[in-house]
Amino acid sequence: METEQQSSRSDGVAAIKVLVVDDSALMRHVLTEILSSDPAIDVVGVASDPFIAREKIKKLNPDVITLDVEMPRMDGLKFLRNIMRLRPMPVVMVSSLTRQGAAVTLEALELGAVDVVCKPEIDIAQGLREYANQIIDKVKAARLAKVSRLVESSEAPRSGSIVKPAASQNSNLHFQTTDQIIALGASTGGTEAIRQVLENLPADTPGMVIVQHIPGMFSEPFAQRMNSICQMTVKQAVHGERVLHGHVYIAPGDQHLLVRRDGARYYCVLSDAEPVNRHKPSVDVLFHSVAQQVGKNAVAVMLTGMGKDGAAGMLALHNLGCRTLAQDESSSVVWGMPGAAVKVGAVDEVLPLKKIAGRLQELYRRPKLNKPLSR
């Protein structure tokens, strides 16, 4: 029998109150079991549809909600939109590992969801238990997240609104080898932060390589979504392909992305090695490879995210004389990764998210990225 619990911890510190919203009784049971195994979390209630959830939110005042994408009576996306308009709070989406589920989940992240938990297509209970630590970490990160009220614009959707220059008219953008690289890392809240950076960069931006902590099923749809709204060409990285001017390469969600230099050219390298800092892809793996292969011609950017992945790699870049930027705390959903980089002395400039694209343009338009800059 599913009952509400009282939130309490033996050490007197308030536990994270979680409401599990899912139409599947099995999912409600397994998620409750996994989350309740951590003493810092109390599952204070469950709900089988958004209407029941709405009443329990009022009654239980949870800190975090886990929300199924596909729900009866009202779909999860519509319910999320209502939450973020009327009572903003951290929401972790639970999505099926399908292409349709990926598209809907990316829209949920745009609406303000903090993160996503993947629902296995077969053997759901065992599949979720294998990722219990990740699920717990996502909920803990969500509790720390800063969420804001959704203000939906009446403007037409951005998707499809960008007309990219034709290759025949801008062949220099497609065939020019770049000796400059921009490397970017992000995690919790990063999909929207990356969007805000990329859509404000022009088509002549140097090649960019990006690691975003995201499930494997979602990385390619995310890249396609970014490609539809950005002047640069955005794609999921492919092993062995050239890093070209005006292009953005996003790491697959289940492989490390590295950069390899061959003469004056750079190439993407994908690796199936073990996770680093519990992440695959790892920002540290990318940044260390950029330090080794690109050196002073790189600029590194750290955006919002939970944990410290990327801090050591950014320090290696900083010590080489590369320019390093980090998103500031006030504009970050979670100031974990940027904060960790700042703490170890790896960051030259801490900037609000809205200023990062402009600062990158100032840097790469100089004759050399490694030219001494006034501070």
Listed by start position, the domains of the chain span: 16-144, 171-364
- Cα 240 to chain centroid distance, Å, stands at 24
- pLDDT (0 to 100) of residue 366: 60
pLDDT digit string, tens, across residues 276-331 = 999 999 999 999 999 999 999 999 999 999 999 999 999 999 999 999 999 999 99
Judge if 16-144 and 171-364 fold alike in CATH terms. yes
Residue 371 pLDDT exceeds 90:
no
Q: Look up 213 and say whether it is catalytic.
A: yes
CB contact set of 21 (below 8 Å; sequence gap of 6+)? 46, 47, 48, 49, 50, 53, 65, 66, 67, 68, 71, 76, 79
Average pLDDT of span 248-272: 96
- Over pLDDT 70: what percentage of the chain? 85
Q: Of how many residues is the chain composed?
A: 375
Catalytic member of 289, 309, 318, 328:
309
Minimum mean pLDDT among 104-118, 261-275, 320-334: which range?
104-118
Count CB neighbours of 108 within 10 A: 24
**Which CA distances in Å does 298 have to 140, 287, 325?**
33, 10, 11
Band of the pLDDT at 150, cuts 50, 70, 90? confident
Question: What are the phi and psi torsion angles at 184 (to 5°)?
Answer: -135, 140
- pLDDT (0 to 100) of residue 156: 39
Minimum mean pLDDT among 49-53, 177-181, 193-197, 235-239: which range?
177-181
Band of the pLDDT at 373, cuts 50, 70, 90? very low
- pLDDT (0 to 100) of residue 12: 54
Provide the edge-to-edge strand list for the sheet that holds 323-327.
233-236, 247-250, 207-212, 181-186, 298-302, 323-327, 349-351
- Which CATH superfamily hosts domain 171-364? Methylesterase CheB, C-terminal domain (3.40.50.180)
- pLDDT (0 to 100) of residue 168: 37
Residue 9 pLDDT exceeds 70:
no
- Name which CATH class applies to 16-144: alpha beta
Q: Look up 187 and say whether it is catalytic.
A: yes
Band of the pLDDT at 178, cuts 50, 70, 90? low
- pLDDT (0 to 100) of residue 117: 87
Residue 13 pLDDT exceeds 70:
no
Q: Are 300 and 271 in contact (CB under 8 A)?
A: no
Catalytic member of 115, 213, 288, 332:
213
> Torsion-angle region of residue 201: left (phi > 0), alpha (psi -120 to 50) or beta?
beta
- pLDDT (0 to 100) of residue 224: 95
pTM of the model: 0.86
Band of the pLDDT at 124, cuts 50, 70, 90? confident
- pLDDT (0 to 100) of residue 248: 98
Average pLDDT for the chain: 88
Catalytic member of 48, 95, 96, 187:
187
- pLDDT (0 to 100) of residue 176: 52
Q: Tokens in use for 340?
A: 């960790």
Q: Are 301 and 334 in contact (CB under 8 A)?
A: no
CB contact set of 148 (below 8 Å; sequence gap of 6+)? 88, 112
Average pLDDT of span 99-112: 84
Residue 68 CA to residue 24 CA, distance in Å, equals 9
Residue 352 pLDDT exceeds 60:
yes
Band of the pLDDT at 51, cuts 50, 70, 90? very high
